[in-house]
Structure 1
Amino acid sequence: MFTEPRSGRLAAWGNALLAGNVSPDDAALAIVSEDAVHRIEGLPGEEGPVGLTLALGRLRALGATGYRVAMPTAGHPLGLSGPPEFNARALEAEEAVTVFGVALGLVPELYEAGPEGDLHREVVWHCLPVREAPPADVPSLGEAERELAEALREATAVLSGLDVAGGGPAAEAAIDAYRARAEAGAGELLAPGYPARAVRVLELARRVGLLVSVAYEHGPGGAVSASEMAARGEALRPVERVARRAQVAAYNAYVEERERRG
């Protein structure tokens, strides 16, 4: 199921803070969301981890003008620009934030404690140097939107071919749960100040991600053989890749718009 990456929240609300659209406390609250606390360690000029509000202010003082998201997976360094140490940490976490203007990157590490259903989650963001270069394989919003429209058709066709689309109570329950969350979070896909097209692209990426999740998790009658799973993965992997690229493009739209305007 599609989930909002922590790097997406930090980039979106960090950008809104830089633009003066939200207060530091509101930005920090939105970034932390349902976690207990977020800290950033390794900031230049700071000893040990510091709180999120202080850290965002410190990054701004260092020259931060925007935040980008990276969502790399094995064989796909999406949004990364190096060096190898940062790329390796980001790949392990499958997400990261790069700070535009100061050549720094942030990689989250999650700590959990407590029983299931009452987990206490803390996040430490590790601050590391990054290479100032264009991020890998990130499309423009226009490209992402066109690719997603095609991916949505492909995902629907794959689901139909697997007899999954709309079939079975488990798949229907997954779709209903997604719709309920989407309605509850309407208008909160991105932070204030993002272009409407970025919101539209992110919502479409969520829809594609939902279809991919349903296809992976709910086979005909709940029974899926190893060969069926392999065929399903091969068919859906390109669709999943497009959805991830679109997510990154949407979160990065603030910085891309600033660059375009010069």
Structure 2
Amino acid sequence: MPQTEAHEAYEEPRSARLVAWGNAWFAGLASPDDAATAVRGDDDAHVVRGLPGADGAGLTLALGRLRALGATGLRLALPAPGHPLGLTGPAEFNARALETGEAVLAVGAPWGLVPEALWHGADHADDGVLAVSWHALPVNVGFPADVPALRDAERELVEGMREATESLVRLDVAGSGPAVQRALGRLRAREESGAEELLAPGYPPRAVRVLQSARRVAALIAVAALSEGAAVSAAEMSARADALRPLERAARRARVAAYNSAVDEPATEGR
């Protein structure tokens, strides 16, 4: 179970894939079809709902329509309860993004997209078709909430890892250490094997490095939170969660900063 949760923590949200490859397309570094294929991944179909001039269209046409509406790039939001990370409002869009846990905001155009994945024809992947609807809603134009610069995000992750490790050791709840290291070792090997491409063309090396660190931290948190260790009482489990919560927030902030760096960081940052 911990290994499964860690693997899921390592997967990138659909909104993140759309931001990365959408920005590559806006920059002229990926064709519309290649970008749409990368965003779709293993899903069967993607369609955009509610975007003026592209209601019911696929991703390729929707990206073109966003550009016609004034968009010059895309940003990622990964909000959580009490933490509207990457959002700009209004309340209706924020609520929908918070319910899903992810969203895309256009840069230069007052539109945002929130994905909804539904199985059609069956209850699971064996027989059904996974269709993703991107619901387009108006958003406020402005810089998103609580998104750090890449340099700051990288520093926060390092500090957060050190503080969380010290807290867990003090609480004597580090019994899951070997399981954490085994899971992270497998995930790190997957990275080093080149089995997947992080981000998309046009992103600076610092962004790739920050995203790698954020993914490892997310996997560590998933394993540490669920693995069998020394936290046997409700109080000890609560203490573990308290120790990991700031690190989880730092990892989400770093993830968003990495994806948004294509539009928010100077061209020379982190190269």
C-alpha contact 2:168 2:240 (8 A) present in aligned 1: no
- Unaligned runs of at least 5 residues, structure 1: none
Q: Normalising by structure 1, what TM-score?
A: 0.90
1:71-120 per-residue CA deviation (whole Å, 9 max, x = no partner) reads 11110010111111111111111110000011110011111243545363
Q: Which residue of 2 aligns with 1:234?
A: 242
Q: Which residue of 1 aligns with 2:65?
A: 58
- Unaligned runs of at least 5 residues, structure 2: 1-5
Give the letter for the 1:209 counterpart. A
Secondary structure of the 1:138 match is: coil
The verdict on how the C-alpha distance between 1:142 and 1:220 changes in structure 2, with shifts beyond 3 A counting, is same
Give the letter for the 2:21 counterpart. W
2:161 is equivalent to residue 152 of structure 1: yes
Give the letter for the 2:101 counterpart. E
The verdict on how the C-alpha distance between 1:258 and 1:99 changes in structure 2, with shifts beyond 3 A counting, is farther
Q: Which residue of 2 aligns with 1:45?
A: 53
* Counterpart pick for 1:140 among 136, 140, 149: 149
Aligned ranges 1:108-257 → 2 under 5 Å: 108-113=115-120, 114=122, 116=124, 118=126, 120-160=129-169, 161-168=172-179, 171=180, 174-185=183-194, 188-220=197-229, 224-257=232-265
Secondary structure of the 1:124 match is: strand
Secondary structure of the 1:39 match is: strand
Report % sequence identity: 58
| Alignment partners' CA distance in 1, 2:111 and 2:138 | 5
The verdict on how the C-alpha distance between 1:226 and 1:117 changes in structure 2, with shifts beyond 3 A counting, is farther
1:183, distance to aligned residue in structure 2 (A): 3.5
| Alignment partners' CA distance in 2, 1:25 and 1:14 | 11
| Alignment partners' CA distance in 1, 2:182 and 2:125 | 20
Q: How many residues align?
A: 257
Secondary structure of the 1:109 match is: strand
Q: Which residue of 2 aligns with 1:17?
A: 25
| Alignment partners' CA distance in 2, 1:208 and 1:105 | 28
| Alignment partners' CA distance in 1, 2:109 and 2:251 | 29
Q: Normalising by structure 2, what TM-score?
A: 0.87
| Alignment partners' CA distance in 1, 2:222 and 2:233 | 17
* Counterpart pick for 2:75 among 68, 72, 77: 68
1:45, distance to aligned residue in structure 2 (A): 2.2
The verdict on how the C-alpha distance between 1:184 and 1:39 changes in structure 2, with shifts beyond 3 A counting, is farther
